[in-house]
Amino acid sequence: MKANITLINGDGIGPEIVREAKKVLEAVSQKYNHEFIYTDIDMGGCSIDKYGVPLTDEAIEIAKSADAVLLGAVGGNVGNSKWYDVAPNLRPEAGLLKIRKELGLFANLRPALLYKELADACPLKTEISKAGFDMVIVRELTGGLYFGERYTKETDGVRTAVDTLVYNENEIRRVAKVAFDIASKRRKKVISVDKANVLDSSRLWRNVVEEVAKDYKDITLEHMLVDNAAMQFVMNPGQFDVVLTENMFGDILSDEASMITGSIGMLPSASLNESKLGLYEPSHGSAPDIAGKNIANPIATVLSAAMLLRYSLGLDKEAGDIENAVEKVLKDGFRTVDIYTEGMNKLSTSQMGDKIVEYIK
Ligand code: NAI
Ligand code: MG
C-alpha cells in the first residue's frame, strides 16, 4: 500500500528517536512492499526558533492531509529553557495542544505492558510482576472536566472556584466504540471506569457504554469505580484488557499504569479521531537531560510506529512484526541504558534501532 506519513521530530531527544522509528517503518515497508512517503514538519521549540510560533498553519495543513502523524516530543528543560518564560501560546507544548485540537483527537490510547524480561524494573510485588499484565487504556481526550465551563468568583470576601464535568452521549458513544473495537482485536474484555455512585455524568457514561456494548456481543463488559480501579491496578493488573474512561480519570490512571511497567522509555501512545488519521507518540517527553547523546531508548517511539500501522493504516501483521521484534530484542538481552541491568548487552539509540530492524528482516 501507499501511505503519507507526517514526521515531527520536535525537540530534545525527538530527532534521535524518530530517526530510529523511521528506520523500522522502512524495514517493514521493504519487507511487505509498501510505499511510505514521509513529510517532515516542525513543532515545538524548533518551530519557535524558525518561525516564532510552536506550530505554523502550513504545518497543520500538511499533518491534516496525511494518513498518520508520528511525533517524537516537544519542549525544553522545565524551568530553565529559552522557551519557558513566555506567553502560554508561545510555549513548545502549545503546539501539541493545537495539533490535538485541529485533528479532533478524542480518543487517547495508552498500552501498559509489562515485558517479562523487564519484570525486575516493576515496583509491584514479585508475585504480581511475575504474572505480568498487558492492558490498553482508552481515555476520552476532548471532553469532561478539562473542557467544561470554569470560573472563580468572590462573594462576601469568600473566594469560590468552579469546574464543571460535562459529557453528552455522542462524546461517550464514539470513544466507547473505539474501546470495543480495540477489545475485539485483543482479549475481548472492556472494563469501563467511572464514579457512578456519585456523579450524574458517570451514570450517563455507564448507560451509554451499556448501549454500545449491545453491538459487541462477543465482548465482556464490566464497570468499575475509579477509586477501586486505582487499587486494582497495583493489586491485580492482570485482570485488565481494555480500560475505558473519561478524561481526568484517564489522565491519572494512565500515569499510574505507566509507572507499574517500570520504564517510561518503553510506552507508546496513539490519539485517534473519527477518521483513520491519528497522532502517534511516545508517552515520555523530550528528555533534554540526555538529548544529543545517542543514549535515549527509541522503543516507545518504535512501538508508536507499530500502533500507527495498526490503527491508521490497518496493517496488523506489520505492526505485530515490530512488536515481536522488540520482544525478541529484549529477550536476547539487548538494552539501552534506561533499562540496563548487570550482564545485559548495552546498546545506543541507533544500535537499538538497527537491532530491531535486523529482527524484523
Ligand atoms: P521526560 O519524559 O522528558 O523525562 C523524564 C525522565 O525520563 C528524564 O530523566 C529523561 O531522561 C527520562 N527519559 C524520558 N524518555 C526517555 C527515553 N526515551 N529513554 C531514556 N530515558 C528517557 O519528562 P520531563 O523531564 O518532565 O519533561 C521534559 C520536557 O518534555 C518538558 O519540556 C516537557 O514539557 C516535555 N514533555 C513533552 C511531552 C510531549 O511532547 N508529548 C510529554 C511530556 C513532557
Ligand atoms: Mg498526565
DSSP class per residue in 252-297: HHHHHHHHHHS-GGG-EEEEE-SSS-EEEEESS---GGGTTSS-S-
What confidence score (pLDDT) does residue 263 get?
Answer: 81
Q: Is 338 annotated as a binding residue?
A: no
**Domain 123-261 listed as CATH 3.40.718.10:** yes
Closest ligand 1 atom, residue 72 Cα: 40
What confidence score (pLDDT) does residue 86 get?
Answer: 84
Those residues whose C-beta lies under 8 Å from the C-beta of residue 15, and which sit 6 or more positions away, are 9, 72
Give yes or no: 241 in active site.
no
Ligand sitting nearest the alpha carbon of 287: 1
Give yes or no: 251 in active site.
yes
pLDDT digits (tens, 9 = 90+) for 184-202: 999 999 999 999 999 999 9
Q: Is 110 annotated as a binding residue?
A: yes
Catalytic residue among 120, 255, 316, 332: 255
Atom 5, ligand 1: which residue's CA is nearest? 287
**Integer Cα distance of 49 and 113 in angstroms:** 37
pLDDT at 57 over 80: yes
Which residues face 40 on adjacent strands? 7
Q: Is 297 annotated as a binding residue?
A: yes
- Average pLDDT value over all residues in the chain: 95
Mutate to test the pocket of ligand 1, among 266, 286, 290, 348 (most ligand atoms within 8 A of CB): 286
pLDDT at 345 over 80: yes
Closest ligand 1 atom, residue 17 Cα: 18
Please state, for a pLDDT cut of 90, what percent of the chain lies above it: 85
**Rounded distance from Cα 284 to ligand 1 centre (Å):** 5
Task: Please work out whether the CB of residue 281 comes within 6 Å of at least one atom of ligand 1.
Answer: yes
**Integer Cα distance of 177 and 265 in angstroms:** 29
- CATH 3.40.718.10 boundaries in the chain: 1-108+268-361, 123-261
Atom 27, ligand 1: which residue's CA is nearest? 285
pLDDT digits (tens, 9 = 90+) for 237-285: 999 999 999 999 999 999 899 889 978 889 999 999 999 899 999 999 9
Q: Is 299 annotated as a binding residue?
A: no
Catalytic residue among 38, 84, 181, 251: 251
Ligand sitting nearest the alpha carbon of 255: 2
Report the SS3 class of residue 160. strand
Catalytic residue among 22, 98, 195, 355: 195
Catalytic residue among 38, 84, 146, 340: 146
pLDDT digits (tens, 9 = 90+) for 1-20: 999 999 999 999 999 999 99
Give yes or no: 354 in active site.
no
**Domain 1-108+268-361 listed as CATH 3.40.718.10:** yes
**Rounded distance from Cα 282 to ligand 1 centre (Å):** 10
The verdict on ipTM greater than 0.95 is: yes
Q: What would the DSSP string read from start to end of 203-245?
A: HHHHHHHHHHHTT-TTSEEEEEEHHHHHHHHHH-GGG-SEEEE
The answer to whether 265 and 338 have CB atoms below 8 angstroms apart is yes
Give yes or no: 227 in active site.
yes
327, three cell numbers: 520482544
Task: Please work out whether the CB of residue 53 comes within 6 Å of at least one atom of ligand 1.
Answer: no
Closest ligand 1 atom, residue 287 Cα: 3
Atom 10, ligand 1: which residue's CA is nearest? 287
Distance set, CA 214 to CA 169, 173, 184, 218, 247 (Å): 15, 12, 13, 10, 24
* 180 alpha carbon, distance to own chain's centre: 18
pLDDT digits (tens, 9 = 90+) for 122-150: 899 999 998 899 999 999 999 999 888 98
